[in-house]
Structure 1
């Protein structure tokens, strides 16, 4: 008879066990049958917060430690010029103080951005835990650093201030320089002491303690899923955990799982509708996921670029995950905050085309570039997200076939005369031409959304 228990951790002769219960068995065949919780598909917009010890040197990228120890000249030179000869990466921990971290202020920015979920880095590949993990001795926020439970404080602020925003955690399975992990790798993953004594206890612990509704795994690609005990953990997560009904996970649970297993996939093919729910992650800083002091204005995405990538992603059935990198003292850089607030201002006007939308028959227009479609199937509405204001205020759409019942409106266009809100249009042999109002009369600044009813996909596209 198969055991109904799984090994959580082994420390010397002491074993900790937890019962497996519930519907989903620890196999991919069973786990892949779990339906995607609807909230995730409806949310569309999320934020990823890359924060850790790499925010202290704040140079190059979040992979500072790996690149420095790997002998990358840029990082070696930076350390020689700015730190004493025997300085170690571990010495950055005492400088990570988060003295200006205000979770309520962060949450206000999240709300202003229009995001519907936020994922905080709980542990990056450097191994430093952003909560008082008892399995990261002297390498967590309680033992060395800010003496604050950063995961807990942010989770509490998000839930108390913004109930419409879901809280999640990023967790790196592997660690660059953990000796236990390297011993397992030298044994070709036939030993899993690192997983049994570190990874699994932390994963079960963080879920039980903070109830994250997204668990974003990373750092898995060198080892198979059976080494990480991924299916066993996910069986518990989906069947018995405190968040079993609402939690979603990505597709990074061991080599071979990428784009094959998970609630949603993190591979993407822009411009093409995907058969499985997916997510596109981008960073506001083109060069790094973490904070960089040397970043220049040109390194950051403009609001036009941000909205363009968001429209493309949502039209193709994806969610859009935007990364920001706070500084070591706990501040979201002003230029990143500005982008998030700009995005939120746009969503305040055009959110009908975003939240709870579904892909339309065509993802982008078949003739005019820079037009992406979404739909509301319940209301029988089609939205066209127009990235560039049309010349002469006339927009041709090759994918749209009008009818006698067609009505077209422009979100953010609110003339005093209600009848004037309906835009004029002309049916063409292979599409439709829509007449836009004067641009000065429209509230939206960066992209514009048409709301169309009584239309059908063009047969000539």
Structure 2
């Protein structure tokens, strides 16, 4: 379990498809797993936070905790002003109807955004599951609210688009009686883990065979409480997907979050942003997808540039268009066969070697409306050192 392994709340559990040796339930063995190539190459995904907290749609997905856990005044005031006395968090459940949820349209939008993977919240810290979990009786999307398997319905449409499917799964549940009991016992008992966490995680893996599991909520208890190593060893060795690796993500992969409404609509402002990213990636994605860090990641001179590399090319990204249409790059060392182009512009660009004996001085194309719309521009440098 990603968040349960003691490596931080941004740990990811990534599922791949190749054969692997058997791993033992200890961190030395489990941490030796390689990163699945698809994740390292994907670079861009969409995170979907969706649950009962989408009904009040105020604050964040931590609404319940801030309202009745910490009793934050502004949350209490919100409830007094908008809901009758005695209204409980469970009363939000039937209002989470998802009546306009169209997983096919979601998949089409994520494809248009250029996303290579999607992570859906199968369950957050509130405990409500977006699939018919047997361990969340009367607090899941089949029993209460939509009366649908929201997790299962999205899967085939993402698969059809060749988008990897990931599932977020919270370990802790703020107010679950068994978790509260284990916490009271200083986590010397594992009633919640045995009755709730492990059965749910195994069910998600067996039922949906996700490509990625993002799990957090581990911070109040040690990894031994969560049975982390035992679960991962099962997942690596004997589960239907078998190939799983956990890593801590510190960059190199961008996961943008959206929050659908309680009816299952992705708000227009989110859709516009996603399509805008996709439009940019359709031109500049060559320098993003499956790229690697170059020997220089960023340089600052007259123009700030960020670098990636793929195969024999180096890509330089810059965000400020110079008034004289000249970009100077000090890090690349040109050769006699160097070629420079701008992604989205078919013709070769003129360049010269800087007077300092290294670096490139590049003449940019005319500033047209199509070029202006990109806002971030990419120079492709071939045969440079």
Q: Specify if TM > 0.5.
A: yes
Q: Structure 1 residues 28, 370: closer, same or farther in 2, change over 3 A?
A: same
Distance 2:209 2:46 in 1: 18
* Deviation by residue 1:283-319 (Cα, 9 ceiling, x = unmatched): xxxxxxxxxxxxxxxxxxxxxxxxxxxxxxxxxxx11
Residue 195 of structure 1: aligned partner: 193
Cα pair 2:141 2:148 within 8 Å, conserved: yes
Cα pair 1:99 1:330 within 8 Å, conserved: yes
* Deviation by residue 1:300-358 (Cα, 9 ceiling, x = unmatched): xxxxxxxxxxxxxxxxxx11111100000000111011111000000100111011111
Distance 1:183 1:423 in 2: 70
Residue 423 of structure 1: aligned partner: 350
* Deviation by residue 1:97-128 (Cα, 9 ceiling, x = unmatched): 00000000000000000010000000000000
Distance 1:132 1:67 in 2: 27
Structure 1, unmatched stretches of 5+, are 1-20, 249-261, 269-278, 280-317, 415-419, 457-461
TM-aligned CA deviation for residue 401 of structure 1: 1.8
1:436 aligned to 2:368? no
- 2:129 partner SS: coil
Q: Structure 1 residues 455, 332: closer, same or farther in 2, change over 3 A?
A: same
TM-aligned CA deviation for residue 424 of structure 1: 2.8
* Deviation by residue 1:136-174 (Cα, 9 ceiling, x = unmatched): 1111111111100000001122113x02x1001000000
TM-aligned CA deviation for residue 387 of structure 1: 1.5
Residue 239 of structure 1: aligned partner: 237
* Deviation by residue 1:246-277 (Cα, 9 ceiling, x = unmatched): x44xxxxxxxxxxxxx2x213x3xxxxxxxxx
Please identify, of 111-120 and 401-410, the stretch whose mean Cα deviation from structure 2 is larger.
401-410
Residue 447 of structure 1: aligned partner: 376
Distance 2:305 2:269 in 1: 27
Residue 306 of structure 2: aligned partner: 372
1:23-38 paired onto structure 2 within 5 Å: 23-38=22-37
1:265 aligned to 2:197? no
Distance 2:319 2:344 in 1: 15
Residue 7 of structure 2: aligned partner: none
Cα pair 2:303 2:327 within 8 Å, conserved: no
Relative contact order: is structure 1 or structure 2 higher (C-alpha 8 Å, sep ≥ 6)? 2
* Deviation by residue 1:190-240 (Cα, 9 ceiling, x = unmatched): 100100000000000011000011010111111111100111111111222
Distance 1:381 1:442 in 2: 24
TM-score in terms of structure 2 length:
0.91
Structure 1 segments of 4 or more deviating over 3 A? 441-444
1:129 aligned to 2:112? no
Q: Paired residue for 1:323, among 245, 254, 257?
A: 257
CA-atom RMSD in angstroms: 1.5
1:56-455 paired onto structure 2 within 5 Å: 56-69=55-68, 70-160=70-160, 162-163=161-162, 165-245=163-243, 247-248=244-245, 262=246, 264-266=247-249, 268=250, 279=251, 318-368=252-302, 370-376=304-310, 378=311, 380-414=312-346, 420-429=347-356, 430-440=358-368, 443=371, 445-455=374-384
TM-aligned CA deviation for residue 369 of structure 1: 5.1
TM-aligned CA deviation for residue 406 of structure 1: 1.3
Distance 1:211 1:22 in 2: 20
Structure 2, unmatched stretches of 5+, are 1-19
- 1:41 partner SS: helix
Cα pair 1:413 1:442 within 8 Å, conserved: no
Q: Structure 1 residues 441, 97: closer, same or farther in 2, change over 3 A?
A: closer
TM-aligned CA deviation for residue 428 of structure 1: 3.0
Distance 2:240 2:292 in 1: 29
Distance 1:441 1:320 in 2: 27
Cα pair 1:367 1:399 within 8 Å, conserved: no
Cα pair 1:402 1:427 within 8 Å, conserved: no
Distance 1:401 1:336 in 2: 41
Cα pair 1:48 1:120 within 8 Å, conserved: yes
Distance 1:441 1:27 in 2: 57
Q: Structure 1 residues 181, 369: closer, same or farther in 2, change over 3 A?
A: farther
Distance 1:72 1:62 in 2: 15
Cα pair 1:410 1:423 within 8 Å, conserved: no
Distance 2:364 2:191 in 1: 64
